[in-house]
Structure 1
C-alpha cells in the first residue's frame, strides 16, 4: 500500500499518532486524517484526474490523500500560477474538476473538501502501475510537460530514501516547502505518511519557523539554508536535529560549511528530478563532501556518457552526461511519446540532461544542466558549478550564476552574474576574475562579471539561467 501508515489495519494494530500532520498550526491525528481523506475519496471516486491547488493547508493534504485512496490521478497546481500557465496545465492534463480550493474565476467544477467529515469505508488498493500524479516540469525548454509518476515508483523511491536516511516512525519531519513538486509533496508529505513519522509543515520556510518547530529531520532548498545561516540564533536551534537535508539545487559550499559550524550537522545533499525522484544521496553515517551528492540509493544505477554515447571514466574529474536506471523512474511525459522516447537510451536508461562527475568511490558531483551549465570554451569542457562555488567563496559575493555566451573566438565566453553583499563596490569585478583564476585553472576564469540586484528563480529556488543567457 502506498500510504502504508494510513492502512486501517495498521492504525488498528498500533497506537494512533495524535500529531500526524501539522500545517501552519492546524493538526490532524493519523486516524482523523484517514477518516477525513476517505470522506474525500467518496466524493471524488468517479473522477479520472483532478486538479489540486497546492496551497500549504490541511485541505491540500486531504485532497491529495483522498484522491490517492480512491485511485484518482492528482494534478498539483502551483498556487501562484499565472493565467497562461494555469490554462496550459488544466488543458494538457485533462483535469475534470478542482478538488478542494479553486482559484478565482475557475471554470471547472469544484469538489469540496470538508475537514471535519469522516468516513470509514474501505477502498481496495489501486493498481501499483496506475498513475498517482502528473507533475509539471518548470518549462525551461518549452511549455511545461506532464511527468507521470506511478504508485509503485513513488513507493520504491520513498522506501529507498527511508533506507538511505534511516528514516523511521521515530522521526519528525519539518519543512515549509511548496506542495506541488517532488521535494515538498512526495518526499515532504507522502514520505512521512508512508514511514509513519509526524510532519510539521511551517507554512513558509522561514528561519524563525524552523527554529520553533521540534523535529529530527529538516528539509530545505539552498535559499532556505542560506537564510538560516544568516540568522545564527535560529540556526543554533537546529542543533537538536538528527539530519538536515538540502536539495532541489546545489548548496553553495560556504553555506554548507557555515551550517555545519552553527548546528554541528554537516547537511546531507541529494539529487533528483521530477522524472526520477531521488536517485543519489549522502548518508547520515557516511561521508558528506560539500558540493557532492553522494552515491545511488537502493535500486538505482548511474553512468556517464559523452556526446557520442561513449563511457566517461569515473575519475572524479571527467564530465559526462548523467544517465540513471531504477524502479522510481517516471512512466513518460503525458501524451508525448516522441519526447519520452528521445529522453531514454535504446537500453532503457533515462538521460537526465544533467552533466556530472563520478569518482572512483561512486561519489557524484552534479556540474549542472547540459544545456546551460556545460560551457565549451576554447576547446575545454567547463562546469559552471565549479566556478560558482569559487565565486561564492569570495566575501563580496552573496549569489552568483555562471553561463556561457556565444563568442566568435572561444566558442563560448564565461560570464558570471553576481549579487554583491552590502558594502561591496561594483568595481570588485576584476578581483573576482582574479580570485577564480587563482583557485581554478586559468581557462575557467570568467571573462566578464556582471553585477545584478537579483537572480531570476523559480518557485523551488532554482536559478533560471536561460533568462540570463
Structure 2
C-alpha cells in the first residue's frame, strides 16, 4: 500500500480523529480537506519547511506537502538563527508553513505560508513516486552543521507497516503522546503512524503525567524522561492501567523505571530502537517477551549485524560488543548534497553504519550500549559499554539517574567517569564499590561526580559530549 493511499483511507472519521492539546478536534475528512488546500499552494515547490510547533496546523502542513509530493522539512521552533538559516538554505525550501495566528521568524528569508484549518480543497493528487523524498530530517549536528537525511516515501510506509505489525496497532487504537513534531518519534511515528493505521490521535501538547492520565488512550508513546516522571506519579500511572501498550524510545529506558511502570500500570513497556536515518529498525513485540534493557528483534524486512573494529563479525553471545549495522527498506536515501557523509555512512556491501554499539544474544535480542563515539570506553585494554555501568549504578537505592563517559587518561587511555544524580545520602567511593561488586572490577568508575541533574536534549538523551567537556575541566 502506498503512503498517500493510506493517508486518504482509514476509519478515523470521528470529529476528533486528531486533537492536539486544547485545540480544535479535526475529523480525518477535515484534516485532509485542509491539507489538500495546502497542497494546492505548494505543488511544484522544491521543498516545504514547516515551523513544527505542536499544533494541528503543523500536521495539516506536513500532510499537505506529502499530498503534493513536495519534500517536507520540519523546522524545530526553538532552533537558533544560525541553525535555522542553515536548514532553510541547505534544504532549498521555498516556503515556510506556519499557523495563521503564528508569526514566523523574521530572519527566515523565505516566504511564509499561513495555514488555515478552515480551508478546504477537493483536488485529487496522484500518488508520487514511492522512491521520492517524503522528508528532509536534519540531524542534531553534534559533529558539525546538521545534515539533511532524505527519507523516502516507501521507507516511511514500510516502517509504519512493520511497527503496526509488531505492536498490533490498528484503527481501533487511540494513540496518545506529547512529543515534539519535528523528530521521527513524534512526527513520523506519532502522527503519520496514526493516519496510516486509522487510529485516533490525542497529542497532549506537553508530555505531562496529568495529560497522559487524562487522555484515555490505548497506545502511549514516550521517551524515558516522560516515563520516569509518570512512574513517580502513582495516581497518574494507575490511570494507564486501561491502556493496551506503552512504548518507550529515543534513549534507553532505565530498568528501575521499566519495573516501576510495570508494577503501577500492569504493562511491561515496549522498547524500540532507531535513528533519523533508519527510522525504527528493532523493537520488542506486543505479543512477545518484553525484557528490561533490551530493544528486542529486528522489525519486518530489517536485517542487522554486529561488526568488530577489525571489520569481522562479532558473536551473538550476549556479551561481545560491536558496531550495529542495518539493512532494509526503512533506510534513508542519503544525505542531501553530502557525498562525503554518505561515503562514511555506508559499507561497501550496502549496510548502514549506525555509529551505535550493541550486544546481541543467542536468541537475537538486541541491547544497545550507546554511541560508539561516547559510549564505547576503551580503558586499560578493555572495551566497556557505558550503558552496562549506568545500569549497575541505577540499581543502587540512593541513585536517581546516572551517565557514564570515558575521559582521556594518560595511563588507561580512557578512565570511566560517572555522573550521578543522588536520591539519598551516598558517596562516590560507595558507588565505585557497588559497581565493582556487580561487574568486573575494570568496569568500576575511576571518578564519581554527584550532580543535581543530567544535561539532556528535547528527546531526553543525555548530552554526553557536554559531560566529556566538563570532565576535562574536572
**TM-score in terms of structure 2 length:** 0.96
2:13 aligned residue (12, 16, 20): 16
CA distance in 2, matches of 1:237, 1:76: 33
- Which residue number in structure 1 is paired with residue 104 of structure 2? 103
- Which residue number in structure 2 is paired with residue 92 of structure 1? 90
Task: Label 1:6 to 1:277 Cα distance change in 2 as closer, same or farther (>3 A).
Answer: closer
| Structure 1 position 292 matched with structure 2 position 294 | yes
Instruction: Find the residue that maps to 2:287 and give its secondary structure.
Output: coil
CA contact (8 A) 1:174 1:213 kept: yes
Deviations 1:324-360 (A, max 9, x none): 0010100001100121121111110001000001011
CA-CA distance at 1:4 after TM superposition = 3.5
CA contact (8 A) 1:3 1:193 kept: no
- Which residue number in structure 1 is paired with residue 117 of structure 2? 115
CA contact (8 A) 1:305 1:320 kept: yes
- Which residue number in structure 2 is paired with residue 136 of structure 1? 138
Q: Which runs of 4+ in 1 moved over 6 A?
A: none
| Structure 1 position 463 matched with structure 2 position 462 | yes
Question: In the TM superposition, what are the counterparts of 1:203-218 in structure 2 within 5 Å?
Answer: 203-218=205-220
CA distance in 2, matches of 1:321, 1:261: 34
CA contact (8 A) 1:6 1:30 kept: no
- Which residue number in structure 2 is paired with residue 316 of structure 1? 318
- Which residue number in structure 1 is paired with residue 70 of structure 2? 72
CA-CA distance at 1:454 after TM superposition = 2.2
1:127 aligned residue (121, 129, 134): 129
- Which residue number in structure 2 is paired with residue 2 of structure 1? 3
CA contact (8 A) 1:222 1:247 kept: yes
Task: Label 1:15 to 1:428 Cα distance change in 2 as closer, same or farther (>3 A).
Answer: closer
CA-CA distance at 1:15 after TM superposition = 7.7
Question: In the TM superposition, what are the counterparts of 1:339-378 in structure 2 within 5 Å?
Answer: 339-378=341-380
Instruction: Find the residue that maps to 1:399 and give its secondary structure.
Output: strand
Deviations 1:350-375 (A, max 9, x none): 01000001011100000000000000
CA-CA distance at 1:5 after TM superposition = 4.2
Question: In the TM superposition, what are the counterparts of 1:36-435 in structure 2 within 5 Å?
Answer: 36-101=34-99, 103-105=104-106, 106-421=108-423, 424-425=424-425, 428-435=427-434
Aligned residue pairs: how many? 462
Instruction: Find the residue that maps to 1:466 and give its secondary structure.
Output: helix
Structure 1: gaps of 5 or more residues: none
1:33 aligned residue (17, 22, 31): 31
CA-CA distance at 1:285 after TM superposition = 1.3
CA-CA distance at 1:104 after TM superposition = 2.9
CA contact (8 A) 2:5 2:127 kept: no
CA contact (8 A) 1:47 1:72 kept: yes
CA contact (8 A) 1:292 1:364 kept: yes
CA distance in 2, matches of 1:19, 1:79: 25
Deviations 1:91-110 (A, max 9, x none): 22111111124533133111
Instruction: Find the residue that maps to 2:172 and give its secondary structure.
Output: coil
CA contact (8 A) 1:50 1:96 kept: yes
CA distance in 1, matches of 2:145, 2:463: 15
Instruction: Find the residue that maps to 2:240 and give its secondary structure.
Output: helix
- Which residue number in structure 1 is paired with residue 439 of structure 2? 440
CA distance in 1, matches of 2:49, 2:13: 30
Q: Give the aligned CA root-mean-square deviation in angstroms.
A: 1.2
CA distance in 1, matches of 2:13, 2:176: 20
CA contact (8 A) 1:4 1:193 kept: no
CA distance in 1, matches of 2:174, 2:456: 29
CA distance in 1, matches of 2:198, 2:359: 36
Structure 2: gaps of 5 or more residues: 469-474
CA contact (8 A) 1:221 1:461 kept: yes
Deviations 1:161-184 (A, max 9, x none): 001111111111000000001000
CA-CA distance at 1:62 after TM superposition = 0.5
